[in-house]
Chains A and B, each alone.
Chain A
Amino acid sequence: MTCSTARPGGRSLCFSLRLLGGFLAVVLLFGCASDAYYQEVEVPPAEMHAYLDDKPPSLHPYYERVLRQGRRNLVLSQMEAGLAAMEYGAYDLAEESFETALLNIETVYTDDESARRARLLWYAEGAKDFKGEPYERAMAYYYRGLLFLRRGDYENARASFKGGQLQDTLAEEARYRMDFALLVYLEGWASHLLGDDDLAREAFEEVRQIRPDFVPPERGDNVLLLAETGHGPVKIGTGAGDAELRLVRGSGFTEQSARFDISGAGLLPAYTMEDVYWQASTRGGRQVDAILQGKVRFKETHQAMGRALTDVSVQGLLMAPAFGKNADKAAIAAGIVGILGLTQQAVAGATRTEADTRTWRSLPDRVHVLTFQAEPRALDVGVLFYDSRGVELGNLKKWVKVDFVNRRSGFAWVRSRTAFIE
């Protein structure tokens, strides 16, 4: 297309077309540029092979992700890989994964590049290294503690459960702080196994304050059974600019409770000790929300100003011919205003306001517990799951073997839904 200057005002039309072209280029540029910087690491095949060599093939997709998603997602990748490894029965691997996750969670980030970047206007919160929301961190301590329990290291199990409780101190409302009953209960159970009766009693009393209908384990109980049901909470970004983090209950399941079929003892109901969604959703506001809201305000202001300036520019360009011999000058002035408007809209478009919605996808919805006394010998337990009306979900029935350690304590852990996601 050529710009004709044969008629009066033709030059202004030319400017208009060029500016329109510039505007389209800006739109195109922003459209193409989004999310370009969340790419995975190129891992040389030999390096990947060496890393996966000692790991079971079914866990390879999870551990591939550990390398490919790099430091930004290291904790998340290790959490998901660790839980899959735990379900698979690769306990050493699971321990390594959760230990790595916890070491990174416990590292205090000060003056960190990824954190500094995530505070900038041009980066979403998701640019930071993932440590998870408090409920996810607490659950990482929970699984690390279970792995210690299974090994018979009750002291470090207790330390893990106590560490997890500290993650639950950041809730906005005081009544929701330190109310992670599952971790308090397991701290008490570890003390119970250690013979630290006073500490166990204190912990169980604390559980009773959170769950008034809770009945502490009997003195002679030596077996702990844990059943996890459903899918954990999902994070979504809502509100202006998706800047508000909202947690919704996981979906695609109906099981709400569990019973254990124990040889000689019959069908015993498990006590629902924790609702993971509840823990996730009672967190309240986060301090980072203030930063995200600031970004939203910045974005909205620039968007509005940019839009107003481009509107003025378009009007100016349309009216330029009316200025007669000064049409060129009017068009230039309108063009400059338009460029300013586009620039402001471009800045607004580049401002990343989204909350970080990366989620530990294999977490359960609820955790149910049961303790009893048994001789330390081979023991298989049937696990039955029920919906909210108490109807048994036969397709979910599982059998689990109780592992005894130190010739005294037994432990079994089972899930209604697999930790192998995707």
Chain B
Amino acid sequence: MKQREWIILAVAGSALLFAGCATQPTYPVNTGPVDTSPGRSTVYEDVGSIGRNQGIGMESQDIASMTDKMVGDMLATPALAGRKASPRVIIDSEYFKNESSTRINKNIITDRLRVELNRAANGRMIFVGRHYSDMVERERALKRDAARATGDPMVDKGTLEATRTTLGGDFRMGGRITTLDSVNSSTGLATRMHQIVFEMVDLENGMIVWSGIYDFKKTAQDDVLYR
């Protein structure tokens, strides 16, 4: 073959090569449907930091900030933390309602609130574990009720002083999670505003002795392929 023919063939070869490149992915083979990246080792992240997987729902940093703020606020309220006799407080999710569009286990909020408050209150409040009442009653029954065979209680009294009754609460926490959602149909921009209200209620007269509100708003726009 003469030089010119070689040139033609070289050009044709280049064209084929180009065509081939156009068909095949430019990244390593088979990564189309399959993530072949080597993976990522587990890392601990601060619960107060912004997560890598984000949406417009409630995330760990929201819960951490919310409970921190509420604890500080409650401890600064004399009607709760400044009483002569430490008030008995019930904090659980029984009266904490979720009316929002966010699926959540409410206990993650109320548990964190109770634990942080208990640690920070340093005796200025006494926390009643109403959510453990079944457990307490069962043990009290074992200590007090006589077994059929012997006539003695099934277990001894333990080392704590026996009380005639368990603690009654002075205050109980209630609240509500609500959301306001909007989606811009032309841009797909989604916005969700969360409002979380916490209230401490006097269990004798129903007075709300403390209220706290925490709100945040998130906006996100999914990739155009999903709009």
Contacts and interface: CB of A to CB of B under 8 A. Distances in A.
Interface of A: 14-15, 18-19, 22, 25-26, 29-30, 33-34, 36-41, 69-73, 102-103, 106-110, 112, 115, 117-119, 122-123, 125, 127-128, 131, 144, 148, 155-156, 158-160, 162-163, 165-166, 169-172, 174, 177, 194, 196, 199, 286-288, 291, 328, 332, 335-336, 339, 342-343, 346-347, 349-350
Interface stretch (B96-104, B112-120, B158-166, B209-217): B96-104
A178 to B, nearest CB: 9
Contacts of A144: 103
Interface in B170-227: 179, 181, 183, 185, 188, 190, 220-227
Interface residues of B, number: 52
A108 B15 contact: no
B221 A108 contact: yes
26 contacts: A22-B15, A26-B16, A37-B25, A37-B32, A38-B33, A72-B33, A103-B53, A107-B54, A109-B222, A123-B32, A127-B33, A128-B223, A155-B106, A159-B101, A166-B181, A166-B183, A170-B227, A196-B99, A286-B227, A288-B224, A336-B11, A342-B19, A346-B15, A346-B18, A347-B22, A349-B23
Nearest to A73: B33
Contacts of B8: 15, 18-19, 332, 335-336
A332 B33 CA distance: 43
Nearest to A137: B226
Interface of A is mostly: helix
A110 B223 CA distance: 6
A29 B206 CA distance: 79
A39 B223 contact: no
A18 B20 CA distance: 18
B50 interface: no
B109 to A, nearest CB: 13
Interface string B39-81: 0000000000000011111000000000000000000000000
Nearest to A290: B224
B101 A163 contact: yes
Contact of B53 (A107, A172, A174): A107
Contact of B55 (A29, A108, A172, A335): A108
A37 B102 CA distance: 37
Contacts of B100: 159, 162
Contacts of A342: 15, 19
B150 interface: no
B5 A30 contact: no
A44 to B, nearest CB: 14
Interface in B1-48: 4-5, 7-9, 11-12, 15-16, 18-20, 22-26, 29-35
Given A37-B33, A72-B34, A107-B54, A291 B12 contact: no
A25 B4 contact: no
Contacts of B57: 106
A119 B20 contact: no
A37 B15 CA distance: 22
B105 to A, nearest CB: 8
A108 B23 contact: no
B22 A346 contact: yes
A69 B34 CA distance: 8
Contact of B190 (A123, A159, A166): A166
A174 B185 CA distance: 9
Contact of B222 (A108, A159, A336, A339): A108
Among B9, B24, B190, B224, the one with the most A-chain Cβ atoms within 10 Å of its Cβ is: B224
A155 B23 contact: no
Given A122-B23, A287-B224, A343-B19, 18 more contacts: A22-B16, A29-B16, A37-B30, A37-B32, A39-B32, A39-B34, A102-B103, A110-B223, A117-B25, A122-B22, A123-B25, A159-B100, A159-B104, A171-B185, A194-B97, A339-B11, A339-B12, A347-B22
Nearest to B25: A37
Contacts of B5: 14-15, 18
A158 B206 CA distance: 28
B227 A19 contact: no
Nearest to A196: B99
